[in-house]
Structure 1
Amino acid sequence: MTMQDAAAARPAGRPRSEKAEKAIVEATLDLIGEGMGISELSIEAIAARAGVGKTTIYRRWSNKEDLVVTALAALKAPVPPLAGESVRGDLVTMIDQMRTESGHVRTRCVMNIAMSESDRYPHLFDKFRQLAIEPRRAAMRAVLERGIANGELLPDLDPEMAMAMLSGTVIWYTKWGQAEHDAGLAERIVDQVLSGIAP
């Protein structure tokens, strides 16, 4: 997920400085990663950390919540290219990207702190889900539906349940295991799940 993608919905204005935008996003992530919750986070603190004026931030984002959405989305890479040759191969590619991302201590820390406030900021996290999570879910759902259609997977497979099994397992490993050091984890997760849902 690029900052340009995350900012696409914002109205056009004066030309933006990519350097300033990157500094603002990085400052937001740094402050959250250091333990500052969303409720404590302020535009003043972000501006001071980024070395910009508050007006520079408000030219790009109308409020703190929109800036946090952009910053969190910047932690997520785009959906990886999928070969489309097999369900297994595509699922391994997607799960391995999740494993790699979750292996970054900063990313884990930021997401843990941010998600702890998801109930207090449902609108913010709905926007984050639409921007950064739903494209990945749609891609994985398409892979599973293709597998159902071509006979690689059981005809009565519930794609939502399968996605929860796959994603939930890698999240569990990154939270409680050593996923970042386990290059074969994605293959093992996918193979274990497929052994229960393949014909």
Structure 2
Amino acid sequence: MNRAAGDFEVAADGGQPAAVVPGRRGRPRSAAADSAIIEAVLSLIEDGVSIAELSMERIAREAGVGKATVYRRWPGKNALMLDVMRSLDVPSPPAAGLSVRDDLVSLLEFLRHRGLAKRGSALLRTVVSHVRAQPELWAEYHATVIRARHEALLGVLRRGVANGEIRADHDLDTLADLFVGPMLARALLHERTDLPEALPADLVDLVLEGVRPGARPAAATAAG
């Protein structure tokens, strides 16, 4: 196995999967080289190259830099892929706090807009296909990116419970999944399916209709 393949699973010393290391002393890193390398990975994934097919040599060629330049920045592809994912992340806008419904629609619209981006959806599908073999990569991304977005959604739902817009007898993590799940399913399972502009509002209204105070559970409705 060549160096690129081996570094894909573990750090250069054979230990745990590599994390991004701090910059070393000496000549400052070139921001242009960093950007070119990350851009090269994104371009290759867009062209249908799987993570398994990526090598540090191939990435270096695509970026127009030497392989040593890549390894000086990232000890292995796990560390590089984590920075690639982070490069696509844009913090979601803060909730306006005027309406729980409008804040939920705004959060889902942000996800819809990102889901329409070819790079975002392509990377998501590629990473999910790889996560079984590299759970540490997904765990790190979840801890640094996904958790913050989930907490933002939970914050809006908690406010909805506090002001009486949402019933208090539902698990909020489950409710959060009901809002986000359909959009993720389309992005992951239906590659060429667009996310319509009306989808965020439709999802929010559909879920809120079922969890508003006074709404009857389905079982009770059927029994009546």
TM-score category of the 2 structures, normalised to the smaller one: 0.7 to 0.9
Q: CA RMSD in A?
A: 1.9
Q: Which runs of 5+ in 2 are unaligned?
A: 1-19, 214-224
Q: Does residue 1:193 correspond to 2:203, yes or no?
A: no
User: Where do 4+ consecutive residues of structure 1 move more than 6 Å?
Assistant: none
CA distance in 1, matches of 2:125, 2:170: 31
Q: Does residue 1:94 correspond to 2:107, yes or no?
A: yes
Alignment match, 1:29 = 42
Alignment match, 1:75 = 88
Alignment match, 1:178 = 194
CA distance 1:67–1:191, change in 2 (3 Å): same
CA distance in 2, matches of 1:61, 1:198: 49
1:32 CA displacement: 2.1
CA distance in 2, matches of 1:92, 1:25: 32
Counterpart residue identity of residue 157, structure 2:
L
Task: Decide whether the 8 Å contact of 2:46 with 2:118 is kept in 1.
Answer: no
Task: Decide whether the 8 Å contact of 1:148 with 1:157 is kept in 2.
Answer: no
Alignment match, 1:142 = 155
Q: Which structure is higher in RCO with an 8 Å CA cutoff and minimum separation 6?
A: 1
Alignment match, 1:5 = none
Alignment of 1:107-126 (within 5 A): 107-126=120-139
Task: Decide whether the 8 Å contact of 1:29 with 1:72 is kept in 2.
Answer: no
TM-score (normalised: structure 1): 0.87
CA distance in 2, matches of 1:171, 1:37: 20
CA distance in 1, matches of 2:40, 2:209: 44
- Of residues 2, 9, 12 in structure 1, which corresponds to 2:23? 12
1:173 CA displacement: 4.0
Task: Decide whether the 8 Å contact of 1:90 with 1:143 is kept in 2.
Answer: yes
Q: Alpha-carbon deviations, 1:27-80, whole Å to 9, x = none?
A: 111222222222221111111111122232223222110110111222222122
Percent sequence identity over matched residues?
Answer: 38
CA distance 1:145–1:117, change in 2 (3 Å): same
Secondary structure of the 1:152 match is coil
Q: Alpha-carbon deviations, 1:155-185, whole Å to 9, x = none?
A: 1221111111111112234454421xx2222
Counterpart residue identity of residue 37, structure 2:
I
Secondary structure of the 2:53 match is coil
CA distance 1:40–1:173, change in 2 (3 Å): closer
- Of residues 175, 178, 183 in structure 2, which corresponds to 1:165? 178
Task: Decide whether the 8 Å contact of 1:148 with 1:155 is kept in 2.
Answer: yes
The size of the alignment, in residue pairs, is: 190
Task: Decide whether the 8 Å contact of 2:33 with 2:65 is kept in 1.
Answer: yes
Deviates more, 1:151-160 or 1:116-125: 151-160
- Of residues 68, 84, 96 in structure 2, which corresponds to 1:55? 68
